[in-house]
């Protein structure tokens, strides 16, 4: 059977897939929460690599060592596309789709704004935002954690960090929602995605015009900082400026919402772990880190091959897309002891929750800090809570997020509405 495994060649024709099994795997459906972690785990144990007959056809590697190489082998792979089923995307995100050596020139402009020091300075405002949102939610004794907190909180913090009014979250939240609904490929949602991209771009077009007319302090205002930045001695073009601002919105908000949702689902279902972090809040950073590994919101990431090569058993040719199952790699028993267990005492927890290689998440320090602050502030106000009885939790595919997380608790005395 193996030697007959021929499949449609990307772009038509037939191609030899070597000894790679051929499978059909997609990540787009809304399904019961936890489905994609189980499905990718099964694929990882079945085979280290396969050829996916979805879309134009692409390779999929399933294990930790191969996903690491996919991220690190920039001699072999380009980030020109990071979406396996879209080898020639119509958009260009900066720095996401820029390859080394150019990539670092753009990262260097952004890195100082998202460094541990900058994030440390954002901690106070982030805590204020968390406490304000939680104080609005707590008296009612119930909420949809995803809609009422998990998306609102990172959006307001992000706006504050880049020097914009947190109230603009009212604009950004619906755009982020519509963009990711459309990205999942549903045809009736594509119009909403395009409109959302236009909305986000228009928002930054207006801001650039305002800053040109009335400059702000580049120390605290990211737009002003970028306006005054140069690459190779030249100011950034408006196209690049808009590509950078758009990617920050799209990379930083839905991701943190997704991650917070799964962490709070886990804590709601595991009162033992919750009690441990309530009793000893110094365990919260380890709790967040283990959640980033175990509750991977990135099901898969992809790169485009720049040359022909044998890659972890796949006869890859230049132009092919290769997908790495990040969620499966983060639970690979070849790399982690008791990989499916949540362990607060896990040592050397190096995971791909924030990817790897040169495109490793720019916002990792900010995202971690946001999650730590959210867990601290929430549990100081609402230490005991449960998921509504009978609630069937569902997740959106693509970049994972719970669709809703209905929680309830007993409001503190004098706190009732
Ligand atoms: C828990 C939350 C987050 C997760 C799980 C996450 C995950 C990721 C992943 C997996 C990548 C790599 C994508 C690729 O190379 O294909 C990435 C890149 C990136 N992330 Fe995050 N992210 C999070 C939060 C944030 C935040 C808060 C920001 C900033 C506001 C941010 C900004 C970026 C940017 C700009 C990139 C592109 C970096 C580059 O190409 O050099 N992320 N993120």
Lowest mean pLDDT among 46-60, 86-100, 376-390: 86-100
Residue 414 pLDDT greater than 50, yes or no = yes
The parent domain of residue 56 ranges over: 2-408
Residue 417 forms part of a structural domain: no
The Cα 161–Cα 72 span in angstroms is 30
Quick check: CB of 356 below 6 Å from ligand 1?
Answer: no
Reported confidence tier of residue 12, pLDDT bands at 50, 70, 90: very low
- Structure tokens belonging to residue 24: 């059909």
Residue 3 pLDDT greater than 60, yes or no = no
- 272 Cα: distance to centroid of ligand 1 (angstroms): 31
The Cα 81–Cα 5 span in angstroms is 26
Residue 93 forms part of a structural domain: yes
Report pLDDT for 272: 97
Reported confidence tier of residue 11, pLDDT bands at 50, 70, 90: very low
Residue 416 forms part of a structural domain: no
Residue 31 forms part of a structural domain: yes
Residue 415 forms part of a structural domain: no
Count the residues in the chain.
417
Report pLDDT for 7: 44
Cα separation of the two ends of the chain? 67
- 13 Cα: distance to centroid of ligand 1 (angstroms): 36
Quick check: CB of 261 below 6 Å from ligand 1?
Answer: no
* Alpha-carbon separation of residue 273 from 102, 228, 366, 369 (angstroms): 44, 47, 24, 20
In this structure, which residue's CA is closest to atom 4 in ligand 1?
A: 255
Quick check: CB of 324 below 6 Å from ligand 1?
Answer: no
- 400 Cα: distance to centroid of ligand 1 (angstroms): 14
In this structure, which residue's CA is closest to atom 2 in ligand 1?
A: 256
* Percentage of the chain exceeding pLDDT 70: 94
Quick check: CB of 363 below 6 Å from ligand 1?
Answer: yes
Lowest mean pLDDT among 108-122, 169-183, 319-333, 354-368: 169-183
Structure confidence by residue, pLDDT tens digits, 92-127: 899 999 999 999 999 999 999 999 999 999 999 999
Quick check: CB of 251 below 6 Å from ligand 1?
Answer: yes
Report pLDDT for 180: 86
Report pLDDT for 261: 98
Provide the CATH number for the domain around residue 18. 1.10.630.10
* Alpha-carbon separation of residue 52 from 6, 7, 62, 87, 321 (angstroms): 12, 9, 12, 14, 10
- 166 Cα: distance to centroid of ligand 1 (angstroms): 21
* Percentage of the chain exceeding pLDDT 90: 85
Q: Residues 364-372: what's their mean pLDDT?
A: 98
Buried b (16+ CB within 10 A) or exposed e, 102-133: ebeebbebbeebbeeeebeebeeebbbbbbeb
Residue 393 forms part of a structural domain: yes
Reported confidence tier of residue 400, pLDDT bands at 50, 70, 90: very high
Q: At which residue do the structure tokens 């228009």 appear?
A: 202
Count of the separate structural domains present in the chain: 1
Structure confidence by residue, pLDDT tens digits, 319-338: 999 999 999 999 999 999 99
- The rounded mean pLDDT for the chain is 93
Residue 393 pLDDT greater than 60, yes or no = yes
Residue 413 forms part of a structural domain: no
Quick check: CB of 182 below 6 Å from ligand 1?
Answer: no
Report pLDDT for 184: 66
Q: Residues 299-328: what's their mean pLDDT?
A: 97
Parallel/antiparallel/unpaired status of strands 31-32 and 309-311: unpaired
- 248 Cα: distance to centroid of ligand 1 (angstroms): 8
Note the pTM of the prediction, 2 decimals: 0.95
Structure confidence by residue, pLDDT tens digits, 261-288: 999 999 999 999 999 999 999 999 999 9
- Answer whether 312's CB lies under 8 Å from 48's CB: yes
Report pLDDT for 193: 87
How many Å is the maximal CA-CA distance in the chain?
A: 72
Structure confidence by residue, pLDDT tens digits, 225-250: 999 999 999 999 999 999 999 999 98
Lowest mean pLDDT among 125-139, 178-192, 208-222, 366-380: 178-192
């Amino acid at each position: 059977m193996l030697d007959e495994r021929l499949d449609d060649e990307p772009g038509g024709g037939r191609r030899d897939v070597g000894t790679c099994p051929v499978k059909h795997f997609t990540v787009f459906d809304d399904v019961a929460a936890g489905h994609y972690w189980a499905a990718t785990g099964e694929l990882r144990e079945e085979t280290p690599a396969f050829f996916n007959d979805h879309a134009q056809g692409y390779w999929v590697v399933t294990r930790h060592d191969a996903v690491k190489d996919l991220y690190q082998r920039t001699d072999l792979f380009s980030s020109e596309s990071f979406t396996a089923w879209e080898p020639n995307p119509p958009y260009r995100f900066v720095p996401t789709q820029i390859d080394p050596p150019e990539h670092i020139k753009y990262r260097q402009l952004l890195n100082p704004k998202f460094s541990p020091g900058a994030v440390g300075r954002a901690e106070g405002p982030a805590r204020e935002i968390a406490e304000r949102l939680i104080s609005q939610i707590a008296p009612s004794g119930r909420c949809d954690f995803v809609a009422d907190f998990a998306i609102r909180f990172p959006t307001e913090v992000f706006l504050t960090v880049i020097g914009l009014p947190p109230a603009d979250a009212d604009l950004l939240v619906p755009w982020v929602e519509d963009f990711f609904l459309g990205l999942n490929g549903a045809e009736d949602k594509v119009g909403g995605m395009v409109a959302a991209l236009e909305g986000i771009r228009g928002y930054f077009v207006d801001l650039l015009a305002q800053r040109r007319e009335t400059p702000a302090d580049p120390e605290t205002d990211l737009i002003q900082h970028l306006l005054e930045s140069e690459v190779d001695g030249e100011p950034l073009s408006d196209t690049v400026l808009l590509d950078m601002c758009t990617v920050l919105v799209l990379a930083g908000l839905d991701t943190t919402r997704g991650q917070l949702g799964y962490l709070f689902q886990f804590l709601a279902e595991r009162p033992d772990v919750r009690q441990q972090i309530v009793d000893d809040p110094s365990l919260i950073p380890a709790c967040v880190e283990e959640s980033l590994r175990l509750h991977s919101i990135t099901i898969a990431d992809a790169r485009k091959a720049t040359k022909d090569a044998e890659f972890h058993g796949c006869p890859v040719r230049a132009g092919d897309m290769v997908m790495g199952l990040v969620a499966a790699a983060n639970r690979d028993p070849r790399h982690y002891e008791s990989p499916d267990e949540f362990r607060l005492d896990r040592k050397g927890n190096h995971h791909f929750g924030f990817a790897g290689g040169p495109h490793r998440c720019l916002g990792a320090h900010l995202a971690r800090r946001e999650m730590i602050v959210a867990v601290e502030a929430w549990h100081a106000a609402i230490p005991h809570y449960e998921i509504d009885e009978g609630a069937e939790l569902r997740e959106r595919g693509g970049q994972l997020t719970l669709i809703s997380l209905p929680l309830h608790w007993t409001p503190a005395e004098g706190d009732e509405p």
